[in-house]
Structure 1
Amino acid sequence: MVDRTTIDHWRSAPRLTAFARFFERTARGESGAPDLAQPKIDLSLLDFDLEAAVFSDTHRRLWGHFDSHYFASIPYRLEEEARVGAAILAFALRAWSRSASPATIYTLGTGTGCLARALATLGNGRIEALCCSPTAANRVSFVAKRGSDHAHFFHGPFFDLTNDRYLSDPELFPFQAGFDVLLEDTTFQMYDRDRIKQLDFVVPRIRPGGILVQVQKLAHEDPDTYEERERQKDELFKTRYFSAGDISKKKDEVLNTMTGLQVDLATTAAALGTFFRYSVVTWNSGNFYTIVSSNSRTATLELVSLMLKPAIPPGYCYERLPVILVDTEAEPLAPELSWRCANTMAPLAPRRQAF
């Protein structure tokens, strides 16, 4: 059980203090927007997959101000959102089909909640989706393009979503029994380095057979390696969307402070192993990772098998994916881990030459 001292520490963390103004201005569209070009998905990296394209199209229609900033800041994160979003949608619909009641999804710290809104929209009553943000302007974006009555927004930090809040807030009633999928997106690193306490707060909300998906920016045991990957991100990717001045300003305003709250892959694996029997890295882009964790071997294999292969140029990926972080000797994951094949949209895919 997370104690009051820890909660008070989180409440004074950079996300709610030093970073608050940056996030509010960016979410209002007052600053932080790409000034050279808008991010646009490269469907060729997803093999023109139909499910990913449908998810991406819905997702893009629901963007708020913060989303364009976010997807222009992390190399190929937009393609990863479509890849993971399509997989979570299929996973949630399977959960709905087994229980005959809506699947529940919580996207923790996802800005405008665009992922949650896209999933609720495509679920069409089969998915109840919740997102949270302490930034008021993100709630404005959420309401402006809610997309579905089955999408819900909590205005506040993740640690204010206590058991009492789920029981007393009518907007949260669909989530009293927990979540089939809980996705944490680059949020823990803005509050603290203690991943065990952060996981201890959210893991009890995951239903039996449920999944935790994390998008994390990780430290590296070699500081030079970390910085080289940062230079690649800033100089080869972000310069497509942001001027050099904007990139430097964000680094000074946010990223340098946030680095101190990041942990490395080994620390992440150890924390996840405290709570889960299985944990797998399914995506890597420089210092960014997607990690899937669960106590259910079946659920882990199911979600991973619903993912396309990672949609990223090899030069940005530094891991041989998937990477198993936590496993069991009796029932290991490795023999059955696999990506799904793309359901290619033939009219969009390049024609093969006949020889």
Structure 2
Amino acid sequence: MTVDPETIERWRNAPRLTSFAPFFERTASGRGGAPDLAQPQPDLSLMDFDLDCAVFADTHTRLFGIFDQHYYASIPYRLEEECRLGAAVLSFALQNWARAMMPTTIYTLGTGTGCLARSLAALGGGRIKTLCCSPTPANREAFLARRGSEHTHFFLGPFFELDDDRYASDSDLSPFRDGFDVLFEDTTFQMYDQDRVKQLEFVVPRIRQGGVLVQVQKLAHEDAAVYAERERQKDELFKARYFSQEHISEKKAEILNTMTACQVDLSTTTAALRAFFRYSVVTWNSGNFYMIASSNSRASLVELISLMLKPAMPPAFCYEPLPLVVIDTESDPLGPELSWRSATATAAVAPRRSLSS
């Protein structure tokens, strides 16, 4: 987990910790950036009223911090995807606990208030221990206000300060000294630089044998017109439900135009992942946003994906045939075993029992 000092210094001077920092603190503290037309709520119909997703969605929304409202109103169907992913990771973690009879460890890197980490820890009941990080003090305040479980922890600082020395010396990090079963990076690397190899070089050693890396990235596109059209779709058909046009224009000027300089395309991020993993699969795509799951364990990746519902969004926002295998092996390919699970309907939509039954 050693990265050269020049790279660390470049990350310290990156947009996330310099020009973007005031925006994130202002938004996370409720002094700006919030949706001004409506608040996002999960659409259970897009998840086929699945029971596991409904339970996760209920817990997740109860634990929202201020920044979460902004985040889920900004990315099309990201809230539904978080519930789909959260339910799958919860099942994956509990199955892992049942096999090993040890707490499953999960790190959500750069996830604002750590709502996903808090939800998983709350539902895990001690069988899951989670860590999240953010360099924004207001996100730590939101984390502590609705922590939800003693089994979730927050590190105030950028991801690259969580090095071996910090894990060894910080007692709050003691459950995570041996690494993580799931490491989730959420639109964070794209705010530091384009060198995905160096970023992965820093975090991948923290993934345990059999563990999985899950990433959400906003990717560039080789055709600038395609990228722009997907952005138009996002702004006009999704964000306009929650933000006025004035708010959308302000954010584009303050954040998005700068962020594009640190984005990479799918082929570049795949090439970086190939240096560390035998398998990678795109499990979600919404416009320019992609979720990619990677592992050196075929069994772990197949298991996690088999616990996911089909993507919960209108087809018009998805531009890839999912699941899309981007890294595979010839000797033991993933493709034949990849499939989504079927939904288990909640009682609200299932046939009601009569009193005599």
Common fold, TM-score beyond 0.5?
A: yes
**Matched residues in 2 for 1:314 and 1:195: separation?**
29
CA displacement at 1:349 relative to structure 2: 6.0
Q: Name the amino acid aligned to 1:52.
A: C
Taking the aligned partners of 1:139 and 1:323, their CA distance within structure 2 comes to 35
Aligned to 2:248: 247
How do 1:107-256 residues align onto structure 2 when only pairs under 5 Å count?
Answer: 107-256=108-257
Instruction: Tell me how far apart the structure 2 counterparts of residues 345 and 101 of structure 1 sit (CA, whole Å).
Output: 30
2:300 equivalent to 1:299: yes
Identity %: 71
Whole-angstrom distance in 1 between the partners of 2:283 and 2:351: 27
Shift of 1:311: 0.5
Equivalence for 1:105: 106
Structure 1 residue identity aligned to 2:37: L
Structure 1 vs Structure 2 CA RMSD: 1.0
Query: Separation in 1 of the partners of 2:170 and 2:25?
Result: 25
Distance 2:346 2:22 in 1: 43
Task: State how far apart, in whole Å, the 2-side matches of 1:118 and 1:198 are.
Answer: 26
Are 1:263 and 2:281 counterparts? no
Change (3 A) 1:350 1:253: farther
Say if 1:147 and 1:333 are closer, same or farther in 2 by CA, change over 3 A. same
Look up the SS of the partner of 2:211 in the other structure.
strand
| Residue 327 (structure 2) aligns with | 326
Deviation, 1:30, is 0.5
Q: In structure 1, what is the Cα distance between the partners aligned to 2:92 and 2:137?
A: 31
Contact residue 48 and residue 349 of structure 1 kept, 8 A: no
Distance 2:146 2:350 in 1: 31
Could you say what secondary structure the match of 1:311 adopts? coil
Q: Say which SS state the counterpart of residue 238 (structure 2) adopts.
A: helix
Q: CA deviation at 1:99?
A: 1.2
SS at structure 1 position matched to 2:91: helix
Q: Distance in 2 between matches of 1:144 and 1:189?
A: 28
Residue 28 (structure 2) aligns with: 27
Deviation of the 1:346 alpha carbon: 4.2
Amino acid across the alignment from 2:128: I
Matching residue's letter, 1:24: E
Could you tell me how far 1:101 is from its partner in structure 2?
A: 1.1
Is 1:17 the counterpart of 2:54? The answer is: no
Partner of 1:8: 9
How far the C-alpha of 1:348 sits from its partner, in A, is 2.8
Deviation of 1:68 after TM superposition, in Å, equals 0.2
CA distance in 2, matches of 1:328, 1:258: 34
SS in 2 for 1:72: helix
The offset of 1:350, in angstroms, is 9.6
Q: Residue type of the partner of 1:285?
A: S
1:72 counterpart residue number: 73
Runs of 5+ consecutive residues of structure 2 not aligned to the other structure: 353-357
Q: Distance in 2 between matches of 1:344 and 1:269?
A: 36
State how far apart, in whole Å, the 2-side matches of 1:76 and 1:216 are: 14
Which aligned segments of 4 or more residues in structure 1 are displaced greater than 6 angstroms?
Answer: none
8 A contact 1:47–1:349 mirrored in 2: no
Report what 2:277 is aligned to.
276
Q: C-alpha separation between the residues in 1 aligned to 2:350 and 2:119?
A: 25
* Cα deviation digits, residues 182-204 of structure 1 (max 9, x gap): 00000000001000000000000
Q: Structure 2: which amino acid aligns with 1:132?
A: C
* Number of aligned positions between the proteins: 351
Q: How far apart in 1 are the matches of 2:23 and 2:326?
A: 34
Distance 2:89 2:18 in 1: 32
Deviations 1:189-229 (A, max 9, x none): 00010000000000000000000000110000000000000
Please give the alpha-carbon distance, in whole angstroms, between the structure 2 residues aligned to 1:52 and 1:270: 33
Measure the CA separation in 2 of the matches of 1:301 and 1:218.
24
- The amino acid across from 1:321 in the alignment is L
Q: Does the residue aligned with 2:3 lie in a helix, a strand or coil?
A: coil
- Distance between the aligned counterparts of 1:92 and 1:324, measured in 2? 23
